[in-house]
Structure 1
Amino acid sequence: MNTTFVGLELRRTFRDYVNVFFIAVLPAFFYLIFGASQSFATESAGNGNVAMYIMISMAAYGAVTATTGVGGTAAVERMQGWGRQLGLTPLTDASYVAMKATVALVVAAIPIGLIFVLGVFTGASGDSSAWILSAVAVLVGAAVFSVYGLVFGLAFRSEAAVGAAGGSLVILAFLGNIFIPLSGTLLTIAKFTPLYGYVSLARYPVTEGVLIDRSGNPLPSEPLWVPILNLSV
């Protein structure tokens, strides 16, 4: 792997301050507003508290925003001629994909790290295993959504691809039970949307499959195979 190429890609990504804001700062702000600052933040939620539950949700949203953006950018670059330039070098397609994947995971780690650190200092609490397993699930699961960004890049063939992919994630986050707890018909629909399995799997070390409605009342537990199947599909 060419570390120079990875370093250049990371510097180019972090020079885009607007993109960094939406990837890291905005999800962290959401956590502080909708999680840490709420009166119910310290209430118990499975193997942690509500603040931790919301912390994981916002970290997941920030991570998929990051990987989707990198995937979309990669597709646009290849179609706009950057691929032909790279074809003049000894760089193989496998190496290019590996380096883009590395960049995506590093960028995704930024909102995860920031929000988890904020969680430590703002009252998020839970079992040590829940902290570790949730962070790993958020990071690894986010890698899937680089393909989601790639689809938009191939469809739009312009810089608008990244914006379209990011904008659609906001809608999918609402439908995927990330921003507000869903119940009834909406929850049933949510289980067929892309982000549902990802965030449910990330929360599983805390909730162990227990769902809650908008009033905070517990719903029937969900088996682990449901979020795994959703993410796999």
Structure 2
Amino acid sequence: MTASALRAARPAADPRPVPRPAMLRYARLDLRRQLRDRIGMFFIVGLPTFMYLVFGLGSQDPVGSGNVAMYVMISMACYGAVTATTGVAGSAATEQVMGWGRQLGLTPMRPLAFVAVKAALAMVVAALPVALIFAIGAATGARGAWSDWLTSAAVVWAGSALFAVYGLAVCLVFRGPNAPGIASGMIVVMAFLGNVFTPMSGFMLDLGRLTPLYGYAALARFPLTDGWLPSGVRDPLWLPVANVLAWTVIFALLALWGVRRSRART
């Protein structure tokens, strides 16, 4: 048999894009898997909600255009949202590294479709703690202007995408099954340093301004506080914006380096 005949007999790779119903079916199954992870859902939804009830419930002291309850509510929603996006993106990176990507390579689903599904899934899961904590806050005394509610909720939800990049970067750098745990554990440390759990002042506040969660949480609370902190100092709007942009670039570069390193080893 000639070489041309062999090429003709060989099955060609299917150039067609993955059918949309198949993508939706995969997204539905993966979302169901995420929601069935009780431990993961506890840290994404249960723990931030519990912390709001402990630290924010009934706190009617004024803060900016609202009260302390709303300040705590926004902070805990930030924590829940970034835990969600970090976990989903981190698990996606680990799945690729540990061989799930090879399995998907046998299906019509292309890498870009996989990334799109995972990104959409991360944002859907991140919406759960935001919606629940804001609903509980509205029912239990959190007060603020309606524009503060809408703007803060949008920033909390959309800004959590930064930590999808963070989760991806960490899990590509620390390759292995424990990488998502490392990424999630570092979120707790960054939340303390980032003025999310407890108000800071002095040197710790100056240090916290350089950490990833500080800019994100400060930007989410900005509609309520206009940048004023419990310590009596004010952050101008450019500071949290610059923080978010800088860490976006840093995490994106780390993720890119991790991708190149993984390809170099294969």
TM, length-normalised to structure 2? 0.82
1:106, 1:66 → 2: CA distance?
Answer: 9
Between the aligned partners of 2:33 and 2:176, the Cα distance in structure 1 is 18
In the aligned structure 2, how far is the partner of 1:4 from the partner of 1:152? Answer: 28
Q: Which residue of 2 aligns with 1:9?
A: 30
- How many angstroms apart in 1 are the aligned matches of 2:75 and 2:207? 19
Specify which of 87, 111, 133 is matched with residue 115 of structure 1.
133
Q: Aligned residue for 2:239?
A: 226
Is 1:190–2:208 an aligned residue pair? yes
Amino acid at match of 1:171: V
Provide the residue aligned with 1:148 in structure 2: 166
Return the letter of the residue paired with 1:129. Answer: S
1:164 CA displacement: 1.1
- Corresponding letter in the other structure for 1:18: I
Q: Residue 60 of structure 1 aligns with which residue?
A: 78
- The within-5 A match list for 1:1-233 is 2-37=23-58, 41-213=59-231, 218-219=232-233, 221-233=234-246
- For 1:113 and 1:50, the matched residues in 2 are separated by 19
CA RMSD of aligned residues (A): 1.0
Q: Mean Cα displacement is larger for which, 86-95 or 142-151?
A: 86-95
SS of corresponding position for 1:167: helix
Q: List alignment gaps of at least 5 residues for structure 2.
A: 1-19, 247-266
Letter in 2 for 1:47: S
Q: Distance in 2 between matches of 1:204 and 1:181?
A: 15
Alpha-carbon offset, residue 11 of structure 1:
0.6
Moved over 4 A (4+): none
Q: Percent identity?
A: 52
Alignment coverage as a number of residue pairs: 225
Please list the CA deviations of residues 4-40 of structure 1 after superposition, one character each: whole Å capped at 9, or x if unmatched. Answer: 1111110111111000000000000000001114xxx
Residue 235 of structure 2 aligns to which amino acid in structure 1?
Answer: E
Residue segments in structure 1 that go unaligned for 5+ positions in a row: none
SS at match of 2:56: helix
What are the Cα deviations for residues 117-146 of structure 1, in whole angstroms up to 9, with x where unaligned? 110111001000000000000001101101
Q: Distance in 2 between matches of 1:73 and 1:232?
A: 24
CA distance in 1, matches of 2:123, 2:40: 15
Equivalent residue of 1:212, what SS?
Answer: coil
Shift of 1:152: 2.1
Measure, in 2, the Cα distance between the counterparts of 1:17 and 1:49: 32
Shift of residue 80, structure 1, vs aligned partner = 1.3
1:201 counterpart letter in structure 2: L
Q: TM-score, normalised by structure 1?
A: 0.94
Which structure is richer in relative contact order (CA contacts within 8 A, separation 6 or more)?
A: 1
Residue type at the aligned position of 2:171: G
Q: Deviations over 1:74-127 (max 9, x none)?
A: 111001111111112222222111111110001001111110011011100100
Separation (CA, whole Å) in 2 of partners of 1:13 and 1:98: 16
Larger Rg: 2
